């Protein structure tokens, strides 16, 4: 697993699609009549909320575990797999491991909402709470890898994980070959990097736009600094976009820098309004991290008139309490 993510190409994404077939689904891409009229463009919604675990993370986790089984065999994974997560990746690892009959441990910081921890435990994984950041959770992961011989399934910084997320890019290009822009949440870079790698290989003219939180955006701050940096995590409606990228990041930092064309940061009120808009007009409940594409369109007034735009609705792990908070913040 020493390949650079920058070397991940179409063959890797197609191999990932073969491995995840029957375990992750090809998600719908639908046209939003309300948003298309609002922006005078073709606004297309990629519903990763339709995955069995409710988020795109199932693609990358399933691809990596399946690939390791192919390469190393079941005995090599007998001690189980382990990861750290802000929620969705942990649920994906738990689901994939349970499907393949492998023990799983998911380490979560205390900032991860309880409903996400409960969803992971319900899939049969052991949940371990540790520290106040994802970096602290990863310290526990490292200990279990070194002392117990468990196998790490990273949430983003691995070629196999990125290739799994890249299968979204394959689907987008097959459904809309002349797509003008993809707007996608940016955190660790696995989702944007994977989609960008696949899309750019097929249609270099398609614009890849990243959207981060206005505070605690590790990848955005790292790109600005020119190298990975640590940032303080903050509570947010878009909590799935929290967490660091790792000071020793070996994959996604370089990949995001290569494939992302532009980037925007969005405020909490903009995320809240976007969540409520999607619920009201699309009748779908999405988490804050999934709404940041729409938030960027509105808050930054992006000029998309006449274009075909895909928004990646990355997950639906949101509690009713969080929805109430979003509605109050949006004044609706």
Same domain, 25 and 174: yes
Distance of CA 134 to the CA centre of its chain: 15
Whether 71 is catalytic is no
What CATH number corresponds to the domain at position 134?
Answer: 3.40.50.1100
- Report whether pLDDT(5) > 80: no
Same domain, 134 and 183: no
Catalytic residue among 109, 133, 214, 314: 314
In angstroms, the CA 150 to CA 82 distance is 6
Same domain, 195 and 48: yes
Same domain, 216 and 105: no
Same domain, 208 and 165: yes
Which residues, in sequence order, are CB contacts of 227 under 8 Å at separation 6+?
Answer: 253
pLDDT, tens only, 225-279: 999 999 988 889 998 898 789 899 999 999 999 999 999 999 999 999 999 999 9
Same domain, 129 and 203: no
Last residue of one domain, picked from the residues 152, 176, 191: 152
Same domain, 140 and 252: no
Last residue of one domain, picked from the residues 118, 152, 186: 152
Same domain, 200 and 265: yes
Catalytic residue among 57, 116, 200, 308: 57
Residue 81 near residue 65, CB atoms below 8 Å:
yes
Number of structural domains (the chain) is 2
What is the domain extent for residue 120? 58-152
Whether 240 is catalytic is no
pLDDT, tens only, 36-64: 999 999 999 999 999 999 999 999 999 99
Last residue of one domain, picked from the residues 123, 152, 181: 152
pLDDT, tens only, 158-192: 999 999 999 999 999 999 999 999 999 999 999 99
In angstroms, the CA 98 to CA 283 distance is 31
Tokens of 321: 């309490």
Same domain, 70 and 162: no
* 83 phi and psi angles, rounded to 5 deg: -155, 170
- Report whether pLDDT(65) > 80: yes
pLDDT score of 2: 40
Same domain, 28 and 170: yes
Instruction: Supply the pTM of this predicted model.
Output: 0.93
Same domain, 148 and 166: no
């Amino acid at each position: 697993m020493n390949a650079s993510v920058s070397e991940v190409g179409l063959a890797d994404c197609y191999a990932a699609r073969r491995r995840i077939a029957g375990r992750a689904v090809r998600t719908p891409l639908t046209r939003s009549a309300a948003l298309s009229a609002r922006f005078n463009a073709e606004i297309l919604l990629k519903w990763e909320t339709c995955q069995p675990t409710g988020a795109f993370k199932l693609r990358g986790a399933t691809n990596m575990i399946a690939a390791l089984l192919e390469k190393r065999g079941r005995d090599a994974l007998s001690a189980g797999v382990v990861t750290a997560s802000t929620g969705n990746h942990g649920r994906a690892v738990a689901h994939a491991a349970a499907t393949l009959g492998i023990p799983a441990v998911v380490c979560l910081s205390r900032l991860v909402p309880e409903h996400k921890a409960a969803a992971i435990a319900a899939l049969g994984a052991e949940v371990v709470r540790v520290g106040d950041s994802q970096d602290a959770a990863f310290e526990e992961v490292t200990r279990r890898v070194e002392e117990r011989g468990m196998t790490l399934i990273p949430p983003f910084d691995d070629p196999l994980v990125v290739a799994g997320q890249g299968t979204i890019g394959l689907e987008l290009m097959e459904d809309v070959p002349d797509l003008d822009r993809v707007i996608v949440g940016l955190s660790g870079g696995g989702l944007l990097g994977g989609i960008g790698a696949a899309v750019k290989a097929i249609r270099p003219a398609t614009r890849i736009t990243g959207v981060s939180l206005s505070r605690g955006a590790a990848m955005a701050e790292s790109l600005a600094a020119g190298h990975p940096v640590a940032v303080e995590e903050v509570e947010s409606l878009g909590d799935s976009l929290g967490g660091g990228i790792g000071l020793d990041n070996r994959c996604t930092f370089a990949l995001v820098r290569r494939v992302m064309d532009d980037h925007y940061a969005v405020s909490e009120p903009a995320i809240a309004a976007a969540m409520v808009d999607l619920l009201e007009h699309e009748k779908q409940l999405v988490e804050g991290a999934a709404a940041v594409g729409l938030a960027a369109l509105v808050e930054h007034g992006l000029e998309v008139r006449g274009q075909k735009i895909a928004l990646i609705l990355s997950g639906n792990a949101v509690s009713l309490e969080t929805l109430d908070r979003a509605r109050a913040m949006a004044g609706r």
